[in-house]
Structure 1
Amino acid sequence: MPSPVARRPLETLPKAHLHLHFTGSMRHGTLLELAARDGIHLPESLVADWPPRLSAADEKGWFRFQRLYDVARSVLRTPDDVRRLLREAAEDDAVDGGRWLEIQVDPSGYAARFDGITAFTELVLDAAAEATHLTGVPVAVVVAANRTRHPMDARTLARLAGQYAGRGVVGFGLSNDERRGTTADFAPAFRIAERAGLALVPHGGELLGAASVRTCLDVLHADRLGHGVRVVEDPALLARVAEAGVALEVCPTSNVSLGVHPDLSSVPLPELLEAGVAVALGADDPLLFGSRLAAQYATMRAAHDLDDATLAELGRMSLRAARMPETLRSVLLGEVDAWLAAPPPDA
């Protein structure tokens, strides 16, 4: 019987984390502790039945997912809570080999409790700088608008993001259920962010098919796409995404949990890689999906029998797609090469 192939540890593979939502990054233990502190009742699906069983196959399923997210957001009551969340997110990424983190946040969801969107954004940026100092993982911020809110709100957030471009904010996104609202209506907000030099990183090609990817490219001028996996449904568009170098932030565990794909082996990572598409694996919302950064690499390794050379290239692609300084990128790409060159344990 042949010996099993030795595998290098994925926790030591240098990688960038480009798809992580702010509240969704919270540790489950932190959620329970903060809720107990303030007497906040949590549904059983966030306590004994965690991680919750989710689906976004229909509007009701997405509403349940969003309701759980809103409950989790409610436990963040003080500036120290915000600082703790960002520090712990960076700590968790450090354990998983994360060497750069771009965390996505919609300030309007926290404005009422933290003195407005500007004050909250400044708190997040200060907390991100503190987390960077304490953990050694650089933490950058993507300001994201909400598809379920008015496009004028998105313009306000784009102007806010532009004010902090180069001061911790690196991108502008668009999140929530892409079946809601009209993506093209958010084009003016993305033009504001584009003029500010921010990365344009809307969600698309997750709950809707390949046509939503085309809209994000043609109308929003996306540099990267949150998810984007359903681009495989259109071979011509798939080739266009590859040729344009638009990276996809693929979140395997999230896709399966929400019913985008029935199981991990159905996540079309091999098809994307074969087409030459850049892929950055991300955890999306570990609080709700129960799976962090390194686990995304581990699940894809197991589901698709990926070798270490392919996993190293996934690490490189995440680093190339990140909005990090070129000097740091060069160093980290060299560290990926060193990871692959080192013999695996027990080889």
Structure 2
Amino acid sequence: MSLAALPKVELHLHLEGAAPPEFIRRVAAEKRADISRAFGPDGGYAFADFARFLEVYEAATSVLTTPEDYHRLTLAVLEASAAEGVIYTEAFLSPDFCGGGDVAAWREYLAAIREAAVTARARHGIEMRGVVTCIRHFGPDTAKRAALCAAETAGDFVTGFGMGGDERRGRQGDFAYGFDMAREAGLGLTTHAGEWAGAHSVRQALDDLRVARIGHGVRAVEDPDLVARLAEGQITLEVCPGSNVALGLYASVADHPIAALRAAGVPVTVSTDDPPFFRTALTAEYAALHAAFGWEEEDFAELNRTALGAAFCDAETRARLMKRIGGAV
């Protein structure tokens, strides 16, 4: 079985979080910005816990200050994803980092990102869609601005809206206004929940935000009734095992609940979250799951069919890509 050769679908990827550390160091040097605190002795991103991870993430992102920076970043990220066999990816894009939440500035950044995505598709055969993401620890008012940016640019490239950031701040329902705005614009909805805030945050996301997908969601396994609800409603989880292990949520992939959730009928998918931060890649994630649970090629094909079925893309794109992973629409 060649895991590298399998065509893959990724639904949970933060664009800035996928920035190779050498790329960020190069941009920082060009701008004479000192963010050496973000890196360890080996040159990789350095953090000891989730709070420090957020600090390092935002330090790295701070050097990305122009649409051209994001054009270059998108090309680098999509090239790396394509090398892992990814044929479709949804990247989280934050207007807070791309123009400070101003719609006009956001349009300029988005145009640069989209242009890079078109180039990557021609070069590498990878499709990208953008999921505009508000940042939870920036607060509900900032989330409203991000949602407005999403609604104003919704279409065939910006197809979703979600929320990332520190899951321990506030409640999911505090952000309902922004999610309602995005829903009215026809965007697919997802939110980070069930990672650090526990199973109750998944319930909040379902009840208060009415999302179709959950980012992470793995702590739902602690509540059997919630697991049954996810399975019955076919709520897709964007699971990132390597991220969860790297941040200490679980001791190892073998201890991770993805297999238990899948066995219970919950639609699960596999993503890398912020791959260079967590020293991972999608093929490495598959290899770890194969080693831990004995999953084979058909298991991964099923996971990718599930992911594509839950993707925030149009029917034509889904049908075309489904043929590449060997499934029916």
Give 1:253 deviation, angstroms: 0.9
- Partner residue in 1 for 2:64: 76
**Are 1:262 and 2:255 an aligned pair?**
no
SS class of match (1:180): coil
**Greater RCO, CA 8 A, separation 6+:** 1
The amino acid that maps onto 2:74 is L
1:77–1:113: 8 Å Cα contact kept in structure 2?
Answer: no
Q: Once the two structures are superposed, what CA deviation does each residue of 1:48-98 show, in whole Å capped at 9, x if it has no partner?
A: 24544545xxxxx33311111112112324433211111121111111111
Give 1:232 deviation, angstroms: 0.6
- Partner residue in 1 for 2:180: 191
**Are 1:278 and 2:255 an aligned pair?**
no
- Aligned pair in 2 of structure 1 residues 51, 242: CA closer, same or farther (>3 Å)? farther
Partners of 1:143 and 1:306 in 2: how far apart? 32
SS class of match (2:202): helix
**Are 1:9 and 2:5 an aligned pair?**
no
Q: Once the two structures are superposed, what CA deviation does each residue of 1:116-170 show, in whole Å capped at 9, x if it has no partner?
A: 3343333333333333333321111111111112312212221221122214101
Q: Runs of 5+ in structure 1 lacking a partner?
A: 1-7, 56-60, 339-347
- Partner residue in 1 for 2:77: 89
TM-score by length of 2: 0.92
- Aligned pair in 2 of structure 1 residues 265, 93: CA closer, same or farther (>3 Å)? same
- How many equivalent pairs are there? 326
SS class of match (2:292): helix
2:46–2:56: 8 Å Cα contact kept in structure 1?
Answer: no
Give 1:328 deviation, angstroms: 3.2
- Partner residue in 1 for 2:54: 66
- Partner residue in 1 for 2:27: 34
The amino acid that maps onto 1:220 is L
Partners of 1:161 and 1:45 in 2: how far apart? 30
- Aligned pair in 2 of structure 1 residues 116, 336: CA closer, same or farther (>3 Å)? closer
Partners of 2:321 and 2:156 in 1: how far apart? 22
- Aligned pair in 2 of structure 1 residues 113, 72: CA closer, same or farther (>3 Å)? farther
Structure 1: 4+ residue segments shifted above 6 A: none
TM-score by length of 1: 0.87
- Partner residue in 1 for 2:11: 18
1:53–1:257: 8 Å Cα contact kept in structure 2?
Answer: no
Please give the residue correspondences for 1:132-143 in structure 2 after superposition, counting only pairs within 5 Å: 132-143=121-132
Which is further off, 105-114 or 280-289? 105-114
- Partner residue in 2 for 1:103: 91
Please give the residue correspondences for 1:306-345 in structure 2 after superposition, counting only pairs within 5 Å: 306-337=295-326
- Aligned pair in 2 of structure 1 residues 137, 219: CA closer, same or farther (>3 Å)? same
Partners of 2:38 and 2:158 in 1: how far apart? 33
Q: Runs of 5+ in structure 2 lacking a partner?
A: none
The amino acid that maps onto 2:3 is L
1:17–1:282: 8 Å Cα contact kept in structure 2?
Answer: yes
2:272–2:282: 8 Å Cα contact kept in structure 1?
Answer: yes
Give 1:45 deviation, angstroms: 5.5
SS class of match (1:337): coil
Q: Percent identity?
A: 37
Question: Max radius of gyration: which structure?
Answer: 1
Please give the residue correspondences for 1:159-198 in structure 2 after superposition, counting only pairs within 5 Å: 159-198=148-187
- Partner residue in 2 for 1:294: 283
- Aligned pair in 2 of structure 1 residues 334, 122: CA closer, same or farther (>3 Å)? closer
Partners of 1:326 and 1:14 in 2: how far apart? 19
